[in-house]
Homo-oligomer: A and B are copies of this chain.
Amino acid sequence: MSSHIPIGRKVTLNDIAAGCGVSRATVSLVLRGSPLVNKLTRARVEEELRRQGYVYNRAAANLRRRTSTSIALVLNDLANPFFAEFAAGVDEALAAAGFVTLLGCTGESPAREQAVLGSLLEHGPAGIILSPAEHSRAADVLAAVGRRAPLLLFNRELGGALPEFAHWDQLMLDNQHGARLATEHLLERGHRRIAFFGGHHDSSSCRQRHAGYAEAMRGAGLRTEPHWRIECAPTRLDAAHHTPALFAGAFAPTAAVCYNDAVALGLMLGLNQRGLRPGHDFALTGFDDIAEAALGMPPLTTLSAAPRERGGQAAELVLERLQQPQAASRQTVAPVRLIVRESSCPPPIT
């Protein structure tokens, strides 16, 4: 059980009612802007509210009315700028709708996710926006949340699908289309030997991006080599380490579609170590458009998901769900935009 912090004496409806000689009910009606109240009574009450510095106790009101004015936002990694932007977008849209954001971070741990969901649910959010931790399972989330609040899944799918899945809304990035755009862009530049670099195949976003890449390659009538698909952790460091594998076989690629920007920046490091100049001798693209992407050497061609707008969209989606609890669940796919920068050069002339 959590600690308990006593609150100082606060001004309540009783104080206001007593202060201007009306009943609690009348004060309540004034607060809620009811047209039933006499103008003069209203003015007197409003003056008294100001005078005593009254603050509405929304928790009490919510209890009585059996409503909620909060939405839980559960994120796998707030320190990641992508999710920070997303959170800012969520909070802005929720605030505009009169809701408050209950924040919870899981640090990519399914166990912490369970704890965070449990704790936030005790505060009775009207809905939940969840960007799941890496290996979070559908069954566990379902057990924690049940039917207590509608859930919107953002960015990642959960492991181990379930029948109840159908009840959850989803907002996903168009990973497949994005990777296809990047691949087609490199094809247009004249590349034929294009690798797909980084990420792990057990991540749904990685599979989707790879599918988009494969689709574009097939569409161009091109075959791919096994060593054009290098898996590695989605970090700069691991990407740099795995760079040599790209050049291990015959038909070395002249370009790579990278799982994300971090991987692309790491590949740049790895290329430099081999004496290859990214953006001159080798072309590459990222995914996410993190702040560093525009500053890389060279600046990185990448895909932007406009995380702040996604946040606003996620907020809209849960709020709509609250209006229509029974409507069929919605699977929304957010568009992704190609941002062309210097890193996606034409192939070197051989």
Interface residues on A, range: 35 or more
Interface centre among A8, A56, A79, A121 (most CB of B within 10 A): A79
* Selected contact of A7 from candidates B66, B104, B107, B146, CB within 8 Å: B66
Instruction: Report whether A308 and B79 are in contact in the complex, using a CB–CB cutoff of 8 Å.
Output: yes
Q: How far is the CA of A63 from the CA of B95 in the complex (A)?
A: 24
Assembly of this chain: how many copies? 2
Instruction: Report whether A81 and B78 are in contact in the complex, using a CB–CB cutoff of 8 Å.
Output: no
Instruction: Report whether A104 and B104 are in contact in the complex, using a CB–CB cutoff of 8 Å.
Output: no
Interface string of A1-28 (1 = CB under 8 A from B): 1111111101000000000000000000
Quick check: is A241 within 8 A (CB to CB) of the other chain? no
Instruction: Report whether A2 and B122 are in contact in the complex, using a CB–CB cutoff of 8 Å.
Output: no
Instruction: Report whether A123 and B104 are in contact in the complex, using a CB–CB cutoff of 8 Å.
Output: no
Instruction: Report whether B100 and A123 are in contact in the complex, using a CB–CB cutoff of 8 Å.
Output: yes
CB neighbours (8 Å) of A88 from chain B are 77-79, 105
* Selected contact of A123 from candidates B58, B79, B105, CB within 8 Å: B58
Quick check: is A296 within 8 A (CB to CB) of the other chain? yes
Quick check: is A217 within 8 A (CB to CB) of the other chain? no
Q: How far is the CA of A235 from the CA of B202 in the complex (A)?
A: 40
Instruction: Report whether B105 and A102 are in contact in the complex, using a CB–CB cutoff of 8 Å.
Output: no
Minimal beta-carbon separation of A149 from chain B (angstroms): 8
Quick check: is A199 within 8 A (CB to CB) of the other chain? no
Minimal beta-carbon separation of A309 from chain B (angstroms): 12
Interface centre among A55, A57, A78, A296 (most CB of B within 10 A): A78
Instruction: Report whether A91 and B68 are in contact in the complex, using a CB–CB cutoff of 8 Å.
Output: no
Instruction: Report whether B123 and A103 are in contact in the complex, using a CB–CB cutoff of 8 Å.
Output: no
Interface residues of A in 304-331 (CB under 8 A from B): 308, 322, 325
Q: How far is the CA of A308 from the CA of B105 in the complex (A)?
A: 13
Closest to A236 in B: B295
Quick check: is A99 within 8 A (CB to CB) of the other chain? yes
CB neighbours (8 Å) of A87 from chain B are 78, 84, 103
CB neighbours (8 Å) of A148 from chain B are 8, 10, 55
Interface residues of A in 196-249 (CB under 8 A from B): none
Chain A residues in the interface with B (C-beta under 8 A): 1-8, 10, 32-33, 53, 55-60, 62-63, 65-70, 73, 77-81, 83-85, 87-88, 91-92, 95, 97-105, 107, 115-116, 119-124, 126-127, 146-148, 265, 290-292, 295-297, 308, 322, 325
